[in-house]
Homo-oligomer: A and B are copies of this chain.
Amino acid sequence: MFNTVTIIGVGEIGGSLGKDIKKRRLAKTVIGIGRRRSSLRKAKRVGAVDGTYRVNSMKRGVKDADLIILATPVGTIVELGRLAAAYAKKGAIITDVGSTKKSIVEGLEKALPGHVCFVGAHPMAGSEKGGPESATADLFKGRDCFLTKTKRTDPAALKEVQRFWKRLGARTILVSLKEHDRIVAHISQMVHLVASGLVIAAGDALPYAASGFRDTTRIALSDPGLWKDICATNDTCITEALDRLIAVLKSFRNAISKKQSSRIGSMLAKARGLRRELCRHC
């Protein structure tokens, strides 16, 4: 599919992409760019990339790339994307894997030179662990990958990026920036904030936590720096989603404190009904 793919950021997602591209022979050469020498070494050792460059050698790392994938933490994507674009060859496609889209896509569309195309992407995959040592081929198989379309999105580049994710086994979902950020606030960022919230609120009951609590709160082990940026760049949608969740929890609270057994039952039954509709795939 490509001669050279350059992946900027060789953590769990970037590393998995490299492994997957090599496994499926989607590129002749996979280059990894990173900040830390140790991560780049690990990424090469686990077979995620063929060659590596540090961020301060950006030019040498991106100049031959047909596809440049920004796979660094959300807070650094716009800056690194601008840097990469400056050295990218004419017609190169730049894409990303960031968990929030409005701030990243608008930030890059404003800044990028005309000789490259940018397509925003967000695969719904990854664990709380992170790092190239967690990289696995097939991480994206059967997963959803959001692709964003704006007025400035180049149709041919979008098609190419879509083809790329499909080759990795992902289902692609085309959305607007707003739609994306609203959806992931509910289905991803709420799960994370609630996990952290449960842990903090549990106080001295925490040591008694059983497997259910442990499973639900495992995601609270994720890197706070990464998630802080995700929250900060999707502030409007997360605030709205939190307000809705707090309102639902308050109505549970009021029904329970008033011992309104049948109201509690019908709220729980409503939730079960909605959750069952998701069960086709679970």
Contacts and interface: CB of A to CB of B under 8 A. Distances in A.
Interface in A103-127: 124-125
Nearest to A253: B242
Contacts of A207: 277-278
B256 A232 contact: yes
B264 A228 contact: yes
Given A215-B215, A248-B200, A274 B206 contact: yes
A225 B265 contact: yes
A259 B235 contact: yes
Given A200-B267, A228-B261, A144 B208 contact: yes
B275 A259 contact: no
A232 B260 CA distance: 8
Contacts of A202: 186-187, 190, 274
A124 B221 contact: no
A46 interface: no
Interface stretch (A34-42, A65-73, A191-199): A191-199
A235 B209 contact: no
A205 interface: yes
Interface in A228-274: 228-229, 231-232, 235, 238-239, 241-250, 252-253, 256-257, 259, 261-262, 264-272, 274
A227 interface: yes
A173 interface: yes
A192 B115 CA distance: 52
A228 B268 contact: yes
A210 B144 contact: yes
Contacts of A205: 182-183, 185-187
A196 B244 contact: no
Contact of A271 (B144, B195, B261): B195
A243 B253 contact: yes
A220 B277 CA distance: 12
Contact of A256 (B201, B242, B245, B264): B242
10 contacts: A186-B206, A187-B209, A187-B210, A195-B216, A197-B248, A199-B274, A199-B275, A201-B245, A203-B244, A231-B264
Given A201-B247, A231-B261, 10 more contacts: A186-B206, A190-B202, A194-B216, A197-B249, A197-B271, A201-B241, A206-B277, A221-B279, A232-B256, A246-B249
Top 4 A-B pairs ranked by shortest CB distance?
A196-B271, A224-B268, A228-B265, A186-B205
